[in-house]
Homo-oligomer: A and B are copies of this chain.
Amino acid sequence: MLEEKSAPLGILNVPNGDFAGVFAAQFSEWMKPAGARCLISGMAGSRQGWAEAAYVKCPAGPDELARHLLWIEPGRIALVPGLSDGQGPDGQQGVPDVMRGEEVQIFGAMRLSGLRDGLFVLPGTHSKWATVRGGRVMGFRTHMTGEVYGLLSRHSILARTLEADAPLDEAMFVKGVAQSREGQGLLHEAFGVRALALFGRLGPAPSASYLSGLLIGEELRHEKPGSDVILIGAPALLARYGLALKQYGARVRTFGAEATWAGLHALRGDR
């Protein structure tokens, strides 16, 4: 990685939907050299994005993805499709699942770690748990953990006695993870945050960490992680998942933004 650039221009913030114009304004300098190539992963390839790059069905590896790049300018600019799972053999059974962008991070972490099998977890607004076998994503599940944390901590009755942006209180977070394992379910355990506050047993800052532990714990309780997990994401969130996974006895390897760059290189076929 030679240079990095970011701008608050997510797909819902592109003026007049002029993706080509925004791209030129941001990257024309980078695209000047002959043979420059740009691969774009994430929501730019969604229905609301630059153009729709249809989901590639699991199982899928870098080769399947590379074959389905949607070229905006042939050989020069392409959108990377996301992955879908769970549609069943005839494409109409089962409840489907989707990801856009995380597949590139998974392929990058595979490349960086040399692993071709394992459980890859990408925490976030919508966390992804992907099973990789022989270098391909066999299937995955999404959990709305981050989004539900935002809703409960800012917009539910819990918000009255909770400081949503409080720094992590590790002990209370671990307590939340442990409580979620009691198995009475998130809809019940979350109300405990309110009841504990009513009895003066949980203050606004620790409430946030306890609720976060309940939610991430709920995700783990259902995913039943094994002994090894590859975690990919931003440091603050990885710290929380690392703590929670330790309660489940899982060993963790972590990757950050480098997984995205390595994944895009893998799609291009670079060695």
| Chain A interfacial positions (CB closer than 8 Å to B) | 47, 84, 86-87, 92, 95-98, 126, 141-145, 147-148, 151-152, 155-157, 179, 183-192, 194-196, 198-199, 201, 215, 218-219, 221-222
Contact = CB atoms under 8 A, between A and B. Distances in A.
A187 B186 contact: yes
A223 to B, nearest CB: 8
Given A143-B188, A143-B191, A144-B157, 9 more contacts: A84-B199, A95-B196, A96-B195, A96-B196, A144-B188, A147-B157, A185-B221, A186-B218, A187-B218
25 contacts: A47-B198, A84-B199, A86-B195, A87-B199, A95-B189, A95-B192, A95-B195, A96-B195, A98-B194, A126-B157, A143-B188, A144-B156, A144-B187, A145-B187, A147-B157, A155-B155, A184-B222, A185-B186, A185-B218, A185-B219, A185-B222, A186-B218, A187-B219, A187-B222, A188-B222
B201 A187 contact: no
B145 A156 contact: no
Contact of A147 (B87, B156, B188): B156
Nearest to A87: B199
Contacts of A196: 95-96
A188 B142 contact: yes
Contacts of A142: 188, 191, 195
B187 A215 contact: yes
Interface centre among A157, A185, A189, A201 (most CB of B within 10 A): A185
Contacts of A195: 84, 86, 95-98, 142
Contacts of A194: 98
A64 B84 CA distance: 57
Could you tell me the dominant secondary structure of chain A's interface residues? helix
A144 B87 CA distance: 30
Contacts of A98: 194-195, 198
A86 to B, nearest CB: 8
